[in-house]
Structure 1
Amino acid sequence: MSTTKLTRREQREHAQRFIDTLAGTAFPNSRRIYVHGSQADIRVPMREIQLSPTLVGGDKDKPRYETNEPIPVYDTSGPYGDPDISIDVRQGWQSCASRGSTRVTTARRSANAARPIPKRGWPTTVSMSCASAAC
């Protein structure tokens, strides 16, 4: 079996076609939903997984099934899991700062800065003589 090696130009064309056709896809038997937080502009992506019916009785000829509610799970796929988002890897993702999430981070930092750190009884400095394993 002989395989022809692609030239650099052909490899680049193949890679370019792959990048141009990237699209968000969903997992089978699931759909993306969003849970809204305390602020209107924050949406947490979740994946709602549809479950198969459960056999609860009956016989071989007439089985009885019970439907199961879909299970929501946190969706870690980012924008690639959203079929409504146009993906262009050359443009990159929208930065967090442009979405306005920096004010939440800043508010958390300033709230934490106001609290003193309790002392735990551990030394705050390490003597250079104890830096070796022989100490």
Structure 2
Amino acid sequence: MSATKLTRREQRAHAQHFIDTLEGTAFPNSKRIYITGTHPGVRVPMREIQLSPTLIGGSKEQPQYEENEAIPVYDTSGPYGDPQIAINVQQGLAKLRQPWIDARGDTEELTVRSSDYTKSAAGR
């Protein structure tokens, strides 16, 4: 039995629906937390993973468990791992680091494209 093949228009509609409804996701038994570093306004995303209790004794009928502390790990999923963030792929990511970069005073904005690759791609 073969599945019905979607038309290109239907495929595009499905893709657009996916993009329009994209949202951050949480992982089971964990929550997103942030730690602050030396730069105010820069928060480092961490995922606090809740561990299962450890069996420490007792009997089969009345086991004894010990709770384990949650373990924080670096969260590499970026904004897409935060259910509280509104995601809009057309707008792109918020420029959270822009004020920090500007304050360093070691960058300058280019007025024209300078990369050979970019120049050649623009002419295509």
TM class, shorter-chain normalised? 0.7 to 0.9
Shift of 1:94: 1.8
Q: Report the secondary structure of 1:11's partner residue.
A: helix
Q: Which amino acid aligns with 1:57?
A: G
Query: Does the alignment pair 1:102 with 2:106?
Result: no
Residues 42-80 of structure 1: CA distance to partner in whole angstroms, max 9, x if unpaired? 111000000000000011111100000000000000000
Q: Which residue of 2 aligns with 1:20?
A: 20
Shift of 1:85: 0.4
Q: Which residue of 2 aligns with 1:93?
A: 93
CA RMSD of superposed structures (Å): 1.7
Normalised to the residue count of structure 1, the TM-score between the two structures is 0.72
Q: Which has the larger radius of gyration?
A: 1
Structure 1 pair 43–51 and aligned structure 2 pair: CA distance change class (3 A): same
Aligned residues: 106
Q: Which amino acid aligns with 1:90?
A: Q
Normalised to the residue count of structure 2, the TM-score between the two structures is 0.78
Query: Does the alignment pair 1:63 with 2:60?
Result: no
Q: Which residue of 1 aligns with 2:54?
A: 54
Q: Which amino acid aligns with 2:58?
A: G
Distance in 1 of aligned mates of 2:23 and 2:101: 28
Q: Which stretches of structure 1, 4 residues or more, deviate above 3 A after TM superposition? A: none
Q: Does the aligned pair in 2 maintain the 1:46–1:74 contact within 8 Å?
A: yes
Is there any run of 5+ residues in structure 1 with no aligned partner, and where?
110-135
Shift of 1:26: 0.8
Q: Which amino acid aligns with 2:2?
A: S
Q: Which residue of 1 aligns with 2:37?
A: 37
Query: Does the alignment pair 1:74 with 2:74?
Result: yes
Structure 1 pair 83–19 and aligned structure 2 pair: CA distance change class (3 A): same
Residues 57-116 of structure 1: CA distance to partner in whole angstroms, max 9, x if unpaired? 011111100000000000000000111100011111123553x12146x37x7xxxxxxx
Distance in 2 of aligned mates of 1:58 and 1:96: 52
